[in-house]
Structure 1
Amino acid sequence: MELQLLGAVEAWVEGRRLDLGPRQQRLVLAVLALKVNQFVPVERLVDLTWPESPPHSARHAIHVRVSLLRTVLTLAGAGRDGVEIHTRGPLYVLRADPMCVDAHRFRALLSDARNATDDVAKASLLRRALDMWHGPPLADVVTPPIEALCQGLEEARLTALEEWFGAQLRLGRHEAVIDELAEFVIQHPYRQRLLAQLMLALYRAGRAPDALVAYRLTRRRLVDELGLDPSAQLQKLERAILRGDPALDLPEPPVGPVGDDDHPPA
Protein backbone atom coordinates (compact mmCIF):
# COMPACT_ATOMS: atom_id res chain seq x y z
CA MET A 1 0.00 0.00 0.00
CA GLU A 2 1.16 3.54 -0.73
CA LEU A 3 -0.10 6.76 0.85
CA GLN A 4 0.58 9.96 -1.07
CA LEU A 5 0.68 13.34 0.64
CA LEU A 6 3.04 15.27 -1.67
CA GLY A 7 0.21 16.66 -3.75
CA ALA A 8 -3.37 15.44 -3.49
CA VAL A 9 -4.04 12.98 -0.65
CA GLU A 10 -4.34 9.51 -2.19
CA ALA A 11 -4.00 5.85 -1.22
CA TRP A 12 -3.02 3.14 -3.69
CA VAL A 13 -3.14 -0.64 -3.41
CA GLU A 14 -1.73 -2.78 -6.23
CA GLY A 15 -2.14 0.03 -8.75
CA ARG A 16 -5.71 0.84 -7.68
CA ARG A 17 -6.58 4.21 -6.13
CA LEU A 18 -8.84 3.93 -3.10
CA ASP A 19 -11.89 6.10 -2.55
CA LEU A 20 -10.97 7.87 0.69
CA GLY A 21 -14.21 9.78 0.94
CA PRO A 22 -14.84 13.53 1.33
CA ARG A 23 -12.24 16.19 2.03
CA GLN A 24 -12.46 16.13 5.82
CA GLN A 25 -12.05 12.37 5.86
CA ARG A 26 -8.97 12.55 3.63
CA LEU A 27 -7.60 15.27 5.89
CA VAL A 28 -7.86 13.00 8.94
CA LEU A 29 -5.95 10.24 7.14
CA ALA A 30 -3.34 12.73 5.95
CA VAL A 31 -2.67 14.01 9.48
CA LEU A 32 -2.38 10.46 10.82
CA ALA A 33 -0.02 9.58 7.95
CA LEU A 34 2.18 12.63 8.61
CA LYS A 35 2.41 11.44 12.22
CA VAL A 36 2.60 7.73 11.33
CA ASN A 37 3.07 5.49 14.41
CA GLN A 38 2.46 8.47 16.70
CA PHE A 39 -0.74 9.01 18.65
CA VAL A 40 -2.74 12.08 17.61
CA PRO A 41 -5.34 13.52 20.04
CA VAL A 42 -8.87 13.81 18.72
CA GLU A 43 -8.83 17.49 19.71
CA ARG A 44 -5.91 18.06 17.33
CA LEU A 45 -7.90 16.49 14.51
CA VAL A 46 -10.87 18.68 15.41
CA ASP A 47 -8.74 21.83 15.35
CA LEU A 48 -7.26 20.96 11.95
CA THR A 49 -10.60 19.96 10.44
CA TRP A 50 -12.55 22.97 11.72
CA PRO A 51 -10.11 25.87 12.22
CA GLU A 52 -12.96 28.12 13.32
CA SER A 53 -16.14 27.30 15.23
CA PRO A 54 -16.12 23.48 15.27
CA PRO A 55 -19.61 21.99 15.62
CA HIS A 56 -20.73 20.49 18.93
CA SER A 57 -20.62 17.08 17.25
CA ALA A 58 -17.01 17.51 16.09
CA ARG A 59 -15.50 14.75 18.23
CA HIS A 60 -18.21 12.33 17.14
CA ALA A 61 -17.71 13.35 13.50
CA ILE A 62 -13.99 12.56 13.78
CA HIS A 63 -14.83 9.17 15.25
CA VAL A 64 -17.18 8.46 12.35
CA ARG A 65 -14.54 9.47 9.80
CA VAL A 66 -11.93 7.25 11.43
CA SER A 67 -14.39 4.34 11.41
CA LEU A 68 -15.09 4.88 7.70
CA LEU A 69 -11.36 5.05 6.96
CA ARG A 70 -10.85 1.77 8.83
CA THR A 71 -13.50 0.20 6.63
CA VAL A 72 -11.83 1.49 3.45
CA LEU A 73 -8.44 0.16 4.55
CA THR A 74 -9.88 -3.20 5.64
CA LEU A 75 -11.77 -3.77 2.39
CA ALA A 76 -8.61 -2.89 0.44
CA GLY A 77 -6.61 -5.47 2.39
CA ALA A 78 -4.30 -2.83 3.85
CA GLY A 79 -3.91 -4.95 6.97
CA ARG A 80 -1.80 -7.40 4.97
CA ASP A 81 0.71 -4.56 4.57
CA GLY A 82 0.49 -3.71 8.25
CA VAL A 83 -1.50 -0.50 7.65
CA GLU A 84 -4.16 -0.06 10.34
CA ILE A 85 -5.73 2.70 12.42
CA HIS A 86 -5.84 2.07 16.18
CA THR A 87 -7.60 3.92 18.97
CA ARG A 88 -6.51 4.47 22.56
CA GLY A 89 -9.08 6.53 24.39
CA PRO A 90 -9.14 10.00 22.77
CA LEU A 91 -6.05 9.18 20.68
CA TYR A 92 -5.69 7.76 17.17
CA VAL A 93 -2.63 6.30 15.47
CA LEU A 94 -1.91 5.01 11.98
CA ARG A 95 0.27 1.93 12.33
CA ALA A 96 2.32 1.45 9.17
CA ASP A 97 5.81 1.22 7.75
CA PRO A 98 6.76 4.91 7.32
CA MET A 99 8.18 4.05 3.89
CA CYS A 100 4.66 3.45 2.59
CA VAL A 101 4.05 7.22 3.02
CA ASP A 102 5.66 9.32 0.28
CA ALA A 103 6.46 12.21 2.66
CA HIS A 104 8.58 9.91 4.83
CA ARG A 105 10.26 8.29 1.82
CA PHE A 106 11.07 11.78 0.59
CA ARG A 107 12.83 12.65 3.84
CA ALA A 108 14.69 9.32 3.82
CA LEU A 109 15.99 10.01 0.30
CA LEU A 110 17.13 13.47 1.39
CA SER A 111 19.08 11.90 4.24
CA ASP A 112 20.68 9.40 1.85
CA ALA A 113 21.57 12.22 -0.56
CA ARG A 114 23.22 14.28 2.18
CA ASN A 115 25.31 11.29 3.20
CA ALA A 116 26.46 10.67 -0.38
CA THR A 117 30.03 11.73 -1.07
CA ASP A 118 29.71 11.56 -4.86
CA ASP A 119 27.83 14.39 -6.58
CA VAL A 120 26.47 12.08 -9.29
CA ALA A 121 24.91 9.84 -6.64
CA LYS A 122 23.75 12.88 -4.65
CA ALA A 123 22.05 14.40 -7.70
CA SER A 124 20.36 11.10 -8.56
CA LEU A 125 18.97 10.65 -5.04
CA LEU A 126 17.76 14.25 -4.88
CA ARG A 127 16.11 13.89 -8.27
CA ARG A 128 14.26 10.77 -7.09
CA ALA A 129 13.09 12.66 -4.01
CA LEU A 130 11.92 15.70 -5.99
CA ASP A 131 10.13 13.56 -8.56
CA MET A 132 7.81 12.33 -5.82
CA TRP A 133 6.11 15.73 -5.62
CA HIS A 134 2.88 16.27 -7.59
CA GLY A 135 1.85 19.62 -6.11
CA PRO A 136 1.75 21.40 -2.74
CA PRO A 137 1.57 18.96 0.19
CA LEU A 138 -1.98 17.86 1.05
CA ALA A 139 -3.13 20.03 -1.84
CA ASP A 140 -6.78 18.92 -1.90
CA VAL A 141 -7.47 19.14 1.84
CA VAL A 142 -5.58 22.30 2.71
CA THR A 143 -6.72 24.67 5.48
CA PRO A 144 -4.65 27.42 7.16
CA PRO A 145 -3.59 25.11 10.05
CA ILE A 146 -2.68 22.38 7.54
CA GLU A 147 -0.55 24.90 5.60
CA ALA A 148 1.35 25.59 8.83
CA LEU A 149 1.66 21.85 9.47
CA CYS A 150 3.19 21.35 6.03
CA GLN A 151 5.63 24.27 6.09
CA GLY A 152 8.45 21.96 7.11
CA LEU A 153 7.81 19.69 4.13
CA GLU A 154 7.67 22.58 1.68
CA GLU A 155 10.87 24.04 3.09
CA ALA A 156 12.54 20.63 2.81
CA ARG A 157 11.49 20.47 -0.85
CA LEU A 158 12.99 23.89 -1.63
CA THR A 159 16.19 23.04 0.22
CA ALA A 160 16.44 19.75 -1.70
CA LEU A 161 15.96 21.68 -4.93
CA GLU A 162 18.80 24.06 -4.00
CA GLU A 163 21.02 21.09 -3.13
CA TRP A 164 20.18 19.46 -6.48
CA PHE A 165 21.12 22.61 -8.38
CA GLY A 166 24.31 22.83 -6.31
CA ALA A 167 25.30 19.30 -7.31
CA GLN A 168 24.58 20.10 -10.97
CA LEU A 169 26.81 23.17 -10.82
CA ARG A 170 29.64 21.22 -9.24
CA LEU A 171 29.28 18.67 -12.04
CA GLY A 172 29.70 21.39 -14.65
CA ARG A 173 26.12 21.25 -15.87
CA HIS A 174 25.47 24.99 -15.53
CA GLU A 175 24.09 25.49 -19.04
CA ALA A 176 21.66 22.62 -18.62
CA VAL A 177 20.02 24.16 -15.53
CA ILE A 178 19.92 27.88 -16.35
CA ASP A 179 16.32 27.91 -17.62
CA GLU A 180 15.01 25.84 -14.70
CA LEU A 181 16.92 27.97 -12.21
CA ALA A 182 15.49 31.15 -13.74
CA GLU A 183 11.95 29.75 -13.37
CA PHE A 184 12.45 28.87 -9.73
CA VAL A 185 14.00 32.25 -8.96
CA ILE A 186 10.84 33.87 -10.37
CA GLN A 187 8.64 31.56 -8.28
CA HIS A 188 10.68 32.12 -5.10
CA PRO A 189 12.18 35.62 -5.43
CA TYR A 190 13.39 35.78 -1.82
CA ARG A 191 15.42 32.53 -1.94
CA GLN A 192 18.83 34.12 -2.22
CA ARG A 193 20.62 30.78 -2.53
CA LEU A 194 18.69 30.07 -5.72
CA LEU A 195 19.63 33.49 -7.08
CA ALA A 196 23.30 32.88 -6.26
CA GLN A 197 23.14 29.58 -8.15
CA LEU A 198 21.52 31.27 -11.14
CA MET A 199 24.18 34.00 -11.14
CA LEU A 200 26.96 31.42 -11.02
CA ALA A 201 25.39 29.35 -13.80
CA LEU A 202 25.03 32.42 -16.01
CA TYR A 203 28.58 33.54 -15.31
CA ARG A 204 30.01 30.12 -16.17
CA ALA A 205 27.98 30.11 -19.37
CA GLY A 206 29.67 33.35 -20.46
CA ARG A 207 26.69 35.52 -19.53
CA ALA A 208 28.13 37.71 -16.80
CA PRO A 209 25.97 40.75 -17.75
CA ASP A 210 22.82 38.65 -17.34
CA ALA A 211 24.05 37.46 -13.94
CA LEU A 212 24.51 41.07 -12.81
CA VAL A 213 21.08 42.07 -14.11
CA ALA A 214 19.50 39.22 -12.13
CA TYR A 215 21.31 40.41 -9.00
CA ARG A 216 20.28 44.06 -9.43
CA LEU A 217 16.64 43.19 -10.03
CA THR A 218 16.55 41.10 -6.87
CA ARG A 219 18.41 43.75 -4.86
CA ARG A 220 15.83 46.35 -5.90
CA ARG A 221 12.98 44.01 -4.97
CA LEU A 222 14.48 43.20 -1.57
CA VAL A 223 14.99 46.88 -0.76
CA ASP A 224 11.61 48.04 -2.07
CA GLU A 225 9.45 45.24 -0.65
CA LEU A 226 11.28 44.10 2.48
CA GLY A 227 13.64 46.96 3.29
CA LEU A 228 16.56 44.50 3.23
CA ASP A 229 19.89 44.39 1.44
CA PRO A 230 21.07 41.21 -0.29
CA SER A 231 23.03 38.83 1.92
CA ALA A 232 26.77 39.35 2.37
CA GLN A 233 27.36 36.16 0.38
CA LEU A 234 25.33 37.48 -2.55
CA GLN A 235 27.11 40.85 -2.49
CA LYS A 236 30.46 39.03 -2.45
CA LEU A 237 29.38 36.99 -5.48
CA GLU A 238 28.41 40.17 -7.37
CA ARG A 239 31.86 41.66 -6.71
CA ALA A 240 33.54 38.42 -7.82
CA ILE A 241 31.58 38.45 -11.09
CA LEU A 242 32.45 42.11 -11.69
CA ARG A 243 36.17 41.39 -11.49
CA GLY A 244 35.97 38.02 -13.26
CA ASP A 245 37.35 36.15 -10.27
CA PRO A 246 38.94 32.85 -11.44
CA ALA A 247 37.67 31.24 -8.23
CA LEU A 248 34.20 31.20 -9.82
CA ASP A 249 35.38 28.91 -12.61
CA LEU A 250 35.06 25.14 -12.40
CA PRO A 251 38.13 23.58 -10.84
CA GLU A 252 37.93 20.74 -13.37
CA PRO A 253 36.47 20.34 -16.86
CA PRO A 254 32.67 19.75 -16.99
CA VAL A 255 31.64 16.15 -16.45
CA GLY A 256 30.05 14.11 -19.21
CA PRO A 257 26.89 14.64 -21.24
CA VAL A 258 23.57 15.69 -19.76
CA GLY A 259 21.59 12.69 -18.54
CA ASP A 260 18.13 11.88 -17.23
CA ASP A 261 18.99 13.23 -13.77
CA ASP A 262 19.77 16.68 -15.14
CA HIS A 263 16.31 18.16 -15.09
CA PRO A 264 14.25 18.93 -11.98
CA PRO A 265 10.55 18.03 -11.83
CA ALA A 266 8.04 20.60 -13.01
Structure 2
Amino acid sequence: MEFQVLGPVQASVGNRRIELGDRKQRLVLAVLLLEPNQLVPLARLVDLLWRESPPTTARRVVQSHVSRLRSALAAASGDVTMVRRGMGYAVECDPERIDAYRFRSLLDQARNSDDARDRVRLLRQALGLWRGPALADAATHEVRDELCRGLDEARMAAVEERFDAELELGRDSQLVDELTDLAARYPHRQKLTFHLMLALYRAGRSGEALRVYASTHRRLDAELGLQPSAGLRQLQIAILRGDPA
Protein backbone atom coordinates (compact mmCIF):
# COMPACT_ATOMS: atom_id res chain seq x y z
CA MET A 1 0.00 0.00 0.00
CA GLU A 2 1.25 3.48 -0.89
CA PHE A 3 0.14 6.81 0.59
CA GLN A 4 0.25 10.24 -1.02
CA VAL A 5 -0.06 13.48 0.92
CA LEU A 6 2.04 15.71 -1.39
CA GLY A 7 -1.07 16.82 -3.25
CA PRO A 8 -4.54 15.32 -2.81
CA VAL A 9 -4.59 12.74 0.01
CA GLN A 10 -4.69 9.28 -1.56
CA ALA A 11 -3.95 5.64 -0.81
CA SER A 12 -3.53 2.85 -3.33
CA VAL A 13 -2.59 -0.77 -3.73
CA GLY A 14 -0.98 -1.24 -7.12
CA ASN A 15 -3.21 0.59 -9.57
CA ARG A 16 -6.27 0.38 -7.33
CA ARG A 17 -7.28 3.52 -5.45
CA ILE A 18 -8.69 3.07 -1.94
CA GLU A 19 -11.81 5.04 -1.01
CA LEU A 20 -10.88 7.27 1.94
CA GLY A 21 -14.17 9.04 2.60
CA ASP A 22 -14.97 12.72 2.99
CA ARG A 23 -12.60 15.64 3.53
CA LYS A 24 -12.45 15.43 7.32
CA GLN A 25 -11.84 11.70 7.19
CA ARG A 26 -8.98 12.20 4.71
CA LEU A 27 -7.55 14.88 6.99
CA VAL A 28 -7.53 12.45 9.94
CA LEU A 29 -5.52 9.98 7.85
CA ALA A 30 -3.19 12.70 6.56
CA VAL A 31 -2.36 13.93 10.07
CA LEU A 32 -1.48 10.39 11.13
CA LEU A 33 0.60 9.84 7.98
CA LEU A 34 2.62 12.98 8.61
CA GLU A 35 3.74 11.34 11.87
CA PRO A 36 3.88 7.62 11.02
CA ASN A 37 4.19 5.22 13.96
CA GLN A 38 3.71 8.13 16.37
CA LEU A 39 0.73 8.62 18.65
CA VAL A 40 -1.41 11.63 17.72
CA PRO A 41 -3.72 12.73 20.58
CA LEU A 42 -7.44 12.64 19.90
CA ALA A 43 -7.67 16.23 21.17
CA ARG A 44 -5.25 17.37 18.45
CA LEU A 45 -7.33 15.69 15.75
CA VAL A 46 -10.45 17.42 17.07
CA ASP A 47 -8.66 20.77 17.06
CA LEU A 48 -7.43 20.35 13.48
CA LEU A 49 -10.82 19.26 12.17
CA TRP A 50 -12.89 22.01 13.81
CA ARG A 51 -10.46 24.59 15.16
CA GLU A 52 -12.27 26.88 17.61
CA SER A 53 -15.81 25.48 17.54
CA PRO A 54 -15.92 21.67 17.69
CA PRO A 55 -19.37 20.13 18.11
CA THR A 56 -20.18 18.24 21.28
CA THR A 57 -19.98 15.02 19.26
CA ALA A 58 -16.49 15.82 17.89
CA ARG A 59 -14.67 12.98 19.65
CA ARG A 60 -17.22 10.42 18.55
CA VAL A 61 -17.04 11.72 14.98
CA VAL A 62 -13.24 11.35 14.95
CA GLN A 63 -13.59 7.84 16.37
CA SER A 64 -16.03 7.02 13.56
CA HIS A 65 -13.61 8.39 10.95
CA VAL A 66 -10.81 6.26 12.37
CA SER A 67 -13.04 3.17 12.44
CA ARG A 68 -14.00 3.60 8.79
CA LEU A 69 -10.40 4.25 7.76
CA ARG A 70 -9.22 1.20 9.68
CA SER A 71 -11.76 -0.96 7.89
CA ALA A 72 -10.85 0.46 4.47
CA LEU A 73 -7.12 -0.08 5.00
CA ALA A 74 -7.57 -3.55 6.45
CA ALA A 75 -9.74 -4.63 3.52
CA ALA A 76 -7.14 -3.37 1.04
CA SER A 77 -3.97 -4.66 2.68
CA GLY A 78 -2.96 -6.33 5.90
CA ASP A 79 0.43 -4.63 6.26
CA VAL A 80 -0.81 -1.21 7.41
CA THR A 81 -2.76 -0.81 10.63
CA MET A 82 -4.44 2.01 12.53
CA VAL A 83 -4.17 1.59 16.28
CA ARG A 84 -5.54 3.32 19.33
CA ARG A 85 -3.51 3.77 22.48
CA GLY A 86 -5.12 5.62 25.36
CA MET A 87 -6.58 8.82 23.95
CA GLY A 88 -4.65 8.84 20.69
CA TYR A 89 -4.21 7.11 17.33
CA ALA A 90 -1.35 6.08 15.07
CA VAL A 91 -0.81 4.60 11.62
CA GLU A 92 1.70 1.78 11.86
CA CYS A 93 3.54 1.20 8.60
CA ASP A 94 6.90 1.43 6.87
CA PRO A 95 7.46 5.20 6.40
CA GLU A 96 8.79 4.50 2.90
CA ARG A 97 5.17 3.91 1.89
CA ILE A 98 4.46 7.63 2.41
CA ASP A 99 5.51 10.08 -0.30
CA ALA A 100 6.39 12.84 2.21
CA TYR A 101 8.89 10.52 3.90
CA ARG A 102 10.39 9.46 0.56
CA PHE A 103 10.69 13.12 -0.44
CA ARG A 104 12.70 13.97 2.66
CA SER A 105 14.82 10.83 2.26
CA LEU A 106 15.71 11.72 -1.35
CA LEU A 107 16.48 15.29 -0.29
CA ASP A 108 18.88 14.02 2.37
CA GLN A 109 20.56 11.72 -0.16
CA ALA A 110 21.03 14.63 -2.56
CA ARG A 111 22.57 16.78 0.15
CA ASN A 112 25.03 14.02 1.00
CA SER A 113 26.17 13.58 -2.61
CA ASP A 114 29.29 15.29 -3.97
CA ASP A 115 28.30 14.65 -7.58
CA ALA A 116 26.20 17.37 -9.24
CA ARG A 117 24.60 14.98 -11.73
CA ASP A 118 23.60 12.67 -8.92
CA ARG A 119 22.14 15.60 -6.95
CA VAL A 120 20.10 16.71 -9.96
CA ARG A 121 18.76 13.19 -10.44
CA LEU A 122 17.80 12.78 -6.78
CA LEU A 123 16.26 16.24 -6.49
CA ARG A 124 14.21 15.80 -9.66
CA GLN A 125 12.98 12.48 -8.30
CA ALA A 126 12.08 14.09 -4.96
CA LEU A 127 10.26 17.03 -6.56
CA GLY A 128 8.45 14.67 -8.92
CA LEU A 129 6.58 13.23 -5.92
CA TRP A 130 4.65 16.49 -5.53
CA ARG A 131 1.26 16.59 -7.30
CA GLY A 132 0.14 19.96 -5.93
CA PRO A 133 0.02 21.60 -2.48
CA ALA A 134 0.34 19.05 0.31
CA LEU A 135 -3.05 17.93 1.71
CA ALA A 136 -4.65 19.85 -1.16
CA ASP A 137 -8.14 18.34 -0.89
CA ALA A 138 -8.20 17.58 2.83
CA ALA A 139 -7.17 20.65 4.84
CA THR A 140 -8.29 24.25 5.02
CA HIS A 141 -5.69 26.88 4.18
CA GLU A 142 -5.11 27.60 7.88
CA VAL A 143 -4.67 23.95 8.82
CA ARG A 144 -2.54 23.21 5.77
CA ASP A 145 -0.24 26.08 6.69
CA GLU A 146 0.14 24.76 10.23
CA LEU A 147 0.79 21.16 9.20
CA CYS A 148 2.79 21.65 6.00
CA ARG A 149 4.85 24.79 6.43
CA GLY A 150 8.02 22.76 6.91
CA LEU A 151 7.26 20.55 3.92
CA ASP A 152 6.55 23.57 1.73
CA GLU A 153 9.85 25.15 2.72
CA ALA A 154 11.70 21.88 2.10
CA ARG A 155 10.13 21.75 -1.37
CA MET A 156 11.35 25.25 -2.23
CA ALA A 157 14.79 24.47 -0.81
CA ALA A 158 14.91 21.38 -3.04
CA VAL A 159 14.02 23.53 -6.06
CA GLU A 160 16.82 25.98 -5.22
CA GLU A 161 19.33 23.21 -4.60
CA ARG A 162 18.42 21.63 -7.94
CA PHE A 163 19.24 24.91 -9.69
CA ASP A 164 22.55 25.07 -7.78
CA ALA A 165 23.47 21.67 -9.19
CA GLU A 166 22.17 22.42 -12.70
CA LEU A 167 24.19 25.64 -12.86
CA GLU A 168 27.24 23.76 -11.60
CA LEU A 169 26.82 21.53 -14.66
CA GLY A 170 26.78 24.56 -16.97
CA ARG A 171 23.14 24.31 -18.05
CA ASP A 172 22.68 28.07 -17.88
CA SER A 173 20.72 28.90 -21.04
CA GLN A 174 18.45 25.86 -20.54
CA LEU A 175 17.31 27.21 -17.16
CA VAL A 176 16.49 30.83 -18.01
CA ASP A 177 12.81 30.36 -18.91
CA GLU A 178 12.05 28.15 -15.91
CA LEU A 179 13.90 30.49 -13.54
CA THR A 180 12.13 33.53 -14.99
CA ASP A 181 8.74 31.96 -14.23
CA LEU A 182 9.71 30.87 -10.71
CA ALA A 183 11.34 34.18 -9.79
CA ALA A 184 8.11 35.93 -10.83
CA ARG A 185 6.01 33.53 -8.73
CA TYR A 186 8.28 33.83 -5.68
CA PRO A 187 9.68 37.38 -5.89
CA HIS A 188 10.92 37.41 -2.30
CA ARG A 189 13.05 34.25 -2.59
CA GLN A 190 16.37 35.90 -3.35
CA LYS A 191 18.13 32.61 -4.06
CA LEU A 192 15.92 32.16 -7.13
CA THR A 193 16.75 35.72 -8.22
CA PHE A 194 20.44 34.91 -7.74
CA HIS A 195 20.11 31.82 -9.93
CA LEU A 196 18.23 33.76 -12.62
CA MET A 197 20.81 36.56 -12.71
CA LEU A 198 23.67 34.08 -12.90
CA ALA A 199 22.02 32.05 -15.67
CA LEU A 200 21.32 35.21 -17.68
CA TYR A 201 24.87 36.48 -17.28
CA ARG A 202 26.41 33.19 -18.30
CA ALA A 203 24.06 33.09 -21.30
CA GLY A 204 25.48 36.42 -22.47
CA ARG A 205 22.51 38.49 -21.25
CA SER A 206 24.18 40.64 -18.60
CA GLY A 207 21.89 43.63 -19.25
CA GLU A 208 18.82 41.52 -18.44
CA ALA A 209 20.54 40.17 -15.34
CA LEU A 210 21.14 43.71 -14.07
CA ARG A 211 17.54 44.70 -14.79
CA VAL A 212 16.39 41.70 -12.72
CA TYR A 213 18.55 42.97 -9.85
CA ALA A 214 17.15 46.50 -10.13
CA SER A 215 13.52 45.36 -10.14
CA THR A 216 14.18 43.01 -7.21
CA HIS A 217 15.83 45.83 -5.27
CA ARG A 218 12.81 48.11 -5.83
CA ARG A 219 10.32 45.40 -4.87
CA LEU A 220 12.13 44.40 -1.67
CA ASP A 221 12.36 48.03 -0.58
CA ALA A 222 8.74 48.87 -1.44
CA GLU A 223 7.08 45.72 -0.12
CA LEU A 224 9.30 44.62 2.77
CA GLY A 225 11.55 47.55 3.56
CA LEU A 226 14.58 45.33 2.89
CA GLN A 227 17.78 45.53 0.90
CA PRO A 228 19.01 42.71 -1.38
CA SER A 229 21.10 40.06 0.37
CA ALA A 230 24.89 40.33 0.46
CA GLY A 231 25.14 37.49 -2.04
CA LEU A 232 22.84 39.25 -4.50
CA ARG A 233 24.74 42.55 -4.16
CA GLN A 234 28.06 40.78 -4.71
CA LEU A 235 26.69 39.09 -7.82
CA GLN A 236 25.52 42.43 -9.20
CA ILE A 237 29.03 43.89 -8.71
CA ALA A 238 30.61 40.83 -10.36
CA ILE A 239 28.29 41.21 -13.38
CA LEU A 240 29.04 44.94 -13.64
CA ARG A 241 32.74 44.08 -13.70
CA GLY A 242 32.25 41.33 -16.25
CA ASP A 243 33.84 38.83 -13.87
CA PRO A 244 34.74 35.72 -15.93
CA ALA A 245 34.33 33.51 -12.85
Counterpart-to-counterpart distance in 2, 1:106 and 1:132 = 7
State the match for 1:260 in structure 2. Answer: none
The equivalent position to 2:95 in structure 1, one of 68, 93, 98, is 98
State the match for 1:250 in structure 2. Answer: none
Shift of residue 52 of structure 1? 2.4
Q: How does 1:34-183 map to 2 (within 5 A)?
A: 34-77=34-77, 79=78, 82-143=79-140, 144-183=142-181
State the match for 1:205 in structure 2. Answer: 203
Counterpart-to-counterpart distance in 2, 1:164 and 1:130 = 9
Partner SS, residue 139 of structure 1: coil
Counterpart-to-counterpart distance in 1, 2:39 and 2:2 = 20
| Cα shift readout 1:224-255 (whole Å, capped 9, x = no counterpart) | 011111111111111110111122xxxxxxxx
Counterpart-to-counterpart distance in 2, 1:184 and 1:47 = 35
State the match for 1:14 in structure 2. Answer: 14
- The aligned amino acid for 1:11 is A
| TM-score of the two chains, using structure 2 as the length reference | 0.98
Tell me if the contact between 1:48 and 1:146 (Cα under 8 Å) persists in the aligned partners.
no
Range that drifts further, 224-233 or 25-34: 224-233
Partner SS, residue 150 of structure 1: helix
Counterpart-to-counterpart distance in 2, 1:60 and 1:39 = 18
Counterpart-to-counterpart distance in 2, 1:173 and 1:206 = 13
| Cα shift readout 1:83-119 (whole Å, capped 9, x = no counterpart) | 1100011110100000000000000000111111110
Counterpart-to-counterpart distance in 2, 1:21 and 1:52 = 23
State the match for 1:4 in structure 2. Answer: 4
- The aligned amino acid for 1:246 is P
Shift of residue 176 of structure 1? 0.8
Shift of residue 163 of structure 1? 0.4
Partner SS, residue 135 of structure 1: coil
Partner SS, residue 228 of structure 2: coil
| Cα shift readout 1:142-175 (whole Å, capped 9, x = no counterpart) | 2212322100000000000000001000000011
Counterpart-to-counterpart distance in 1, 2:144 and 2:231 = 34
| TM-score of the two chains, using structure 1 as the length reference | 0.91
Shift of residue 75 of structure 1? 1.2
Shift of residue 58 of structure 1? 0.6
- The aligned amino acid for 1:5 is V
Counterpart-to-counterpart distance in 2, 1:24 and 1:105 = 25
Counterpart-to-counterpart distance in 1, 2:55 and 2:187 = 40
Structure 1, gaps ≥5 residues long = 248-266
Aligned residues: 244
State the match for 2:225 in structure 1. Answer: 227
Partner SS, residue 225 of structure 1: helix
